[in-house]
Amino acid sequence: METVEKIQQQISENPILLYMKGSPKLPNCGFSAQASQALMTCGEEFAYVDILQNPDIRAELPKYADWPTFPQLWVDGELVGGCDIIMEMVQQGELQTIIKESAAKRAK
């Protein structure tokens, strides 16, 4: 499977997906730590891909997403953004809303 196909499959199979450095329990960068912590406070399950373990995805995803940095949060197949956007959304109460809405769609 080509890298772009793998990315598309990951995004389509995981309604809430965080591409990050490390894992939510052991993040390898401060931005990934903030982003995963923000997601965990929403109280819903989410998938993650450690780009440090997947150099092919680390190389291709910025081109695919037209977004140069990590972490990247994808919800229901749409790129939400990186750490700054995630933290801004938390402060405005928007992140919790989109995460809960995504989880509610899955529950049906």
User: Phi-psi region for residue 27, left (φ > 0), alpha (ψ -120 to 50) or beta?
Assistant: beta
Query: Which two structure tokens, joined as six digits, stand for 82?
Result: 């990186």
Annotated binding residues? 21, 29, 58, 70, 83-84
Where do the structural domains in the chain lie, given as residue ranges?
A: 3-101
- CATH for 3-101 is 3.40.30.10
Length of the chain: 108
**Measured between alpha carbons, how far is 4 from 42 in angstroms, rounded to an integer?**
29
Annotated binding residues for [2Fe-2S] cluster? 29
pLDDT value at residue 4: 96
pLDDT value at residue 87: 98
Q: Identify the residue whose tokens are 């529950």.
A: 107
**Measured between alpha carbons, how far is 82 from 1 in angstroms, rounded to an integer?**
26
**Measured between alpha carbons, how far is 43 from 40 in angstroms, rounded to an integer?**
6
Annotated binding residues for glutathione? 21, 58, 70, 83-84
**Measured between alpha carbons, how far is 65 from 72 in angstroms, rounded to an integer?**
9
pLDDT value at residue 49: 98
Rounded mean pLDDT for each run of 10 residues along the chain, 108 residues in total: 96 97 97 98 97 97 97 98 97 96 88
